[in-house]
Amino acid sequence: MAETETELMLKGYGLTTAEMVYRMPDFQSVLNTFVWQDYDLAPDYPRLFKFIEFWQGEIDGPLHSVRFTHRKMIAPGEWRNVVGEFPLH
């Protein structure tokens, strides 16, 4: 069963965005980019590395470089205890 994004974030997953720069199969001097995004666990990044292995095995365009960023969506400092409530009309 697929987990929701909120369930993944509560388990420690964060949003990982990777930019793959690769060479065009027919024109090796031409570079192109592909952006990949998924929820992944830092610092091992199993989903990112699985995708890179898939790319290297199945896609004709060889990778030139990969750069990525990771943002944990729910951090301990973002939670706070609410002690009061002020309802407005």
Structural domain total, the chain: 1
Q: Is residue 70 part of a domain?
A: yes
Bin 84: left if φ > 0, else alpha if -120 < ψ < 50, else beta.
beta
Structure tokens, 2 = 């697929």
Strands of the sheet containing 14-23, edge to edge, are 31-40, 14-23, 63-71
Q: Is residue 82 part of a domain?
A: no
Q: Is residue 16 part of a domain?
A: yes
Q: 17-64 pLDDT, tens per residue?
A: 999 999 999 999 999 999 999 999 999 999 999 999 999 999 999 999
Judged against a pLDDT cut of 70, whether residue 7 lies above it is answered with yes
The Cα–Cα gap between 21 and 61 comes to 10
Q: Is residue 42 part of a domain?
A: yes
The Cα–Cα gap between 46 and 65 comes to 18
Domain span holding position 25: 8-74
Q: Is residue 27 part of a domain?
A: yes
- CA 30 centroid distance within chain: 26
Q: Is residue 23 part of a domain?
A: yes
